Amino acid sequence: SIGGGELAKGEVRARMVAATVRLLAENGPPGASFGDVLASTGASRGSTYHHFPGGKRELYQAALDLASDRALVALEPARGKAAEVVVKQFFAMWRRLLTGTQLRAGCAVLAVAVAGEEPETVEHAGEIFRTWRVQLGSMFVDGGLGRARARALAALTITAAEGAVAVARAEQDLEPFDLVARQVIAAART
């Protein structure tokens, strides 16, 4: 049986990873240090070394995996539907993040990729983007598109959404995001 102490340790790790996702999405790596994560979660300094013996790289990779899993789960209800529906679902996921954080949060994966601080972590971000492209492409094929068109639309959807999120945050305005979303949704129809 799992004792209360072991469960609490797992909860501390999970809280630290979730806080890192949020901090990366809001501030990028400069605002997601171990100190920032500890301040956000109330965890002890020793817990960082216990839960993440690989250091910040291990913490960031766990956070990126959580962010990726959340995105993939949010997309799954659109599986088997037309490409337009899948694209709408993808943009709706990002719009909820923007509105739910008053345009403070973007994509944690993109934040790490563009910061370029540590090659292994940037490579991990690239693997996640590839996974998303494959997942979207697979969903577009399931919805009736040919493989080549599905691959292209998957790349367009991800890159357009990521750019639209970044611009909306920078401008503190949803208009550019919504304009891009409408264009990509229209492209998915043709």
State pLDDT tens for residues 58-89: 999 999 999 999 999 999 999 999 999 999 99
What pLDDT was estimated at residue 7?
A: 45
Confidence class for position 5, pLDDT limits 50, 70, 90: very low
Mean pLDDT of 40-69: 90
- Residue with the two structure tokens 């072991």: 6
Q: What is the rounded distance in angstroms from the CA atom of residue 187 to the CA atom of residue 190?
A: 6
Statement: residue 9 has pLDDT above 80: no
C-beta separation of 174 from 95 below 8 A: yes
pLDDT of the residue at 55? 86
Q: Could you report the per-residue pLDDT of 14-41, keeping only the tens digit for each? A: 999 999 999 999 999 999 988 999 999 9
109-137: burial string, b at 16+ Cβ within 10 Å, e else = bbbbbebeebeebbebbeebbeebbebbb
* Predicted TM-score of the model (pTM): 0.89
The Cβ of residue 11 has, within 10 Å, a number of other Cβ atoms equal to: 11
Tokens 């639209």 sit on residue = 164
Is the model's pLDDT at 190 over the cut of 80?
Answer: no
The residue assigned the tokens 């944690």 is 108
What is the C-alpha to C-alpha distance for residues 26 and 175, in angstroms, rounded to an integer?
Answer: 20
| Composition of the chain by helix, strand, coil, percent to 5 | 80, 0, 20
The pLDDT of residue 4 is above 50:
no
Opening angle at CA 107, ends 168 and 47, nearest 5: 140
pLDDT at 6 over 60: no
Q: Cα separation of 45 and 187, whole Å?
A: 49
The tens digit of pLDDT for each residue in 142-182 reads 999 999 999 999 999 999 999 999 999 999 999 999 999 99
SS3 145: coil
